[in-house]
Structures are given as C-alpha cells and as structure tokens.
C-alpha cells in the first residue's frame, strides 16, 4: 500500500537513531539475474521504521527483516530484493522514481525463484480505506455507503497483472514464480486501535482484500505461477488481534508507525508460508 512523502520523512528521521547493519543482498550475476528475486510493494518491502536497510533506495523504505530477506536466510538463497514501497504494477517495468531501477531488471536466465506481492496500490486500496472508511465518508460508514467503483478498481488490475507475470516468465524462463496474497487485516468487528472504525466496516474492508486475492490467485493459475494463500495462517482478528501476534499495525501503529502494514510477526508469518511452499514445490531439488 502507498506511503506518503511526509510519513517517509518522519520514518527516516526516526530510523536514523537506530539503524542495524544491512544484510548483504546479492547483485545479479552480470546480466544473468540473481538466484532469488523479490518483487513487490511495501507489503513485501518494509517493516516501517524497524530495521530499515540503509543501502536500499531511500524511497523504497526496504527492511532487513522483511519477508524476502527471511526467506533467503532460511533457504540459503542469494537474494536480489527489488521490492519498493508505493510500487505499482507498471513499476516492475519502469523506474518508479530517481535512483530506483525497474524491478524486473534483476531477472535473467540464472533466476530460479521469484516472489511477487503487488497490486494493492493499483487497486487504490489506501484511498478507499483511509479516505473513505476511516474518514467517515458517510454517517453510516463505508459499508453502508458501499462504492461499486472499489470492486471495479480491484478487477481492473487484471490485464496489467497478467502481463507482468508473462514478462517475468519471459525474462526468467527457468524461474518458478510464487505469488503471495494479502493476509487477514480485519475480522468480524472493529476495535479501539482502529480508532473509530465501525464494526460493519471491518468485514467490508476484509472482503475487498479477499476480492484482490481472488484476482491475483486466478491470474497466477492462468500464467504458470504458484499462489500462496496467507489468510488462513494469519490471526483471524487481523489488526485487532493481540499486539504480540498481530501481522499488521492498526491505525494506532505502535510497532511500525505504518497503519495497515506488516509487523515483524507478519513478515515472519508470510516468510514461513513462502518457505513451506517453495520447499514442497521441489524447485530447489532440480
């Protein structure tokens, strides 16, 4: 999901107080591509103000504790992490901002594994959630004033997402693509950390993430990728779960400073799911 510029500046100022040593990410072998390439937006890239990688492009707010890094460590893979906060699907094939190369530049014939997590920004999820549901767009809440355009925006990512999967396969013909979806953000009701979000709005928002999962799962299956369902593994109460176990920070974001973004527990949970799927796929045994 999208991170605003003023939030970026605040996060960088905070993180400068406690940066940890950067993990070494392998550069592509000449033009052959890295063994494992991670692609995506902030849902894969960042832990907010926690453990930021100072070697990554500033705009990406990439973390040394994100899911791709944890996957690489667990499986002993050489990683080229190109995930970047605020990325949209076209940013896979174009420069997202000065100093940020197209994400697909990391791919090549040597690439064996690709993970992909992208599409929420293209579907305008932040605008509908923060600008609608949390802004009190109607006295009855966003569920009561349901906007059909939200579903249309989610469905509209299909052609670009399909084309991206095909382009990944073209550039990395030996790679297996693993697509991870969006875990549980909210359960059947709201809670105090969601700062006034109405109970009915909680499952309504979650239904939109479910629709987004349906789109990417369908396209993954149609284009030779493996889809990972992360919903079942995540806490059913989502951001209203106990802070010690929740996978995402709520509006009152006390762990990452980024609402609706993964906590350390969230990245660990997604990484474990990716590792299990890669291992069971047999791709590392080839």
- Which of 135, 268, 278, 119 shows the shortest CA–CA distance to 197? 135
Question: What is the rounded distance in angstroms from the CA atom of residue 277 to the CA atom of residue 228?
Answer: 7
Question: What is the rounded distance in angstroms from the CA atom of residue 4 to the CA atom of residue 7?
Answer: 5
Phi, psi of 175 (to 5 degrees): -90, 150
Give the max Cα distance, the chain: 57
What is residue 102's DSSP assignment?
-
Question: What is the rounded distance in angstroms from the CA atom of residue 14 to the CA atom of residue 51?
Answer: 11
**Which residues pair with residue 178 across a beta bridge?**
115, 226
Flag residues of the chain having pLDDT under 70.
1-31, 136-139
Fold of 5-285: Rossmann fold (3.40.50)
Question: What is the rounded distance in angstroms from the CA atom of residue 53 to the CA atom of residue 19?
Answer: 8
Coil vs helix vs strand at 94: coil
Predicted local distance difference test score (pLDDT) of residue 137: 53
What is the token pair recorded at 121?
């920004």
Predicted local distance difference test score (pLDDT) of residue 18: 32
Q: What is the DSSP string of 196-229?
A: T--TTHHHHHHHHHHHHHHHHHHHHHHTT-EEE-
Predicted local distance difference test score (pLDDT) of residue 13: 33
Predicted local distance difference test score (pLDDT) of residue 286: 78
Domain boundaries, the chain: 5-285
| Active-site amino acid positions | 42, 261
For residue 117, what are the contacts with CB-CB under 8 A and spacing of at least 6? Answer: 39, 40, 41, 43, 44, 67, 83, 179, 180, 181
Predicted local distance difference test score (pLDDT) of residue 134: 85
Task: Give the global pTM.
Answer: 0.89
Q: 176-180 and 36-40: which strand pairing?
A: unpaired
| Inter-CA distances, 108 with 98, 147, 168, Å | 23, 42, 9
Predicted local distance difference test score (pLDDT) of residue 20: 31
């Amino acid at each position: 999901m999208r991170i605003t510029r003023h939030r970026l500046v605040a996060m960088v100022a905070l993180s400068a107080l406690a940066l940890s040593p950067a993990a070494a990410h392998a550069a592509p072998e000449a033009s052959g591509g890295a063994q494992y390439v991670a692609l995506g937006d902030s849902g894969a890239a960042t832990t907010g103000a926690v453990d930021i990688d100072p070697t990554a492009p500033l705009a990406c707010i990439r973390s040394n504790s994100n899911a791709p890094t944890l996957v690489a460590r667990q499986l002993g893979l050489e990683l080229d992490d190109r995930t970047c906060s605020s990325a949209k699907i076209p940013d896979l094939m174009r420069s997202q901002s000065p100093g940020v190369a197209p994400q697909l530049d990391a791919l090549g014939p040597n690439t064996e594994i690709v993970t992909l997590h992208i599409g929420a920004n293209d579907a305008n999820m932040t605008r509908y959630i923060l600008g609608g549901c949390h802004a009190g767009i109607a006295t009855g809440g966003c569920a009561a004033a349901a906007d059909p355009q939200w579903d249309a925006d989610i469905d509209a990512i299909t052609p670009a997402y399909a084309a991206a999967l095909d382009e990944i396969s073209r550039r990395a013909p030996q790679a297996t693509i693993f697509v991870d979806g969006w875990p549980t953000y909210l359960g059947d009701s709201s809670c105090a950390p969601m700062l006034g979000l109405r109970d009915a709005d909680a499952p309504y928002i979650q239904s939109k993430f479910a629709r987004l999962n349906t789109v990417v799962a369908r396209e993954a299956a149609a284009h030779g990728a493996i889809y990972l369902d992360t919903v079942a593994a995540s806490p059913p109460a989502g951001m209203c779960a106990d802070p010690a176990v929740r996978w995402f920070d709520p509006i009152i974001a006390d762990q990452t400073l980024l609402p609706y973004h993964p906590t350390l527990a969230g990245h660990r949970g997604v990484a474990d799911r990716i590792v299990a799927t890669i291992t069971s796929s047999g791709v590392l045994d080839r």
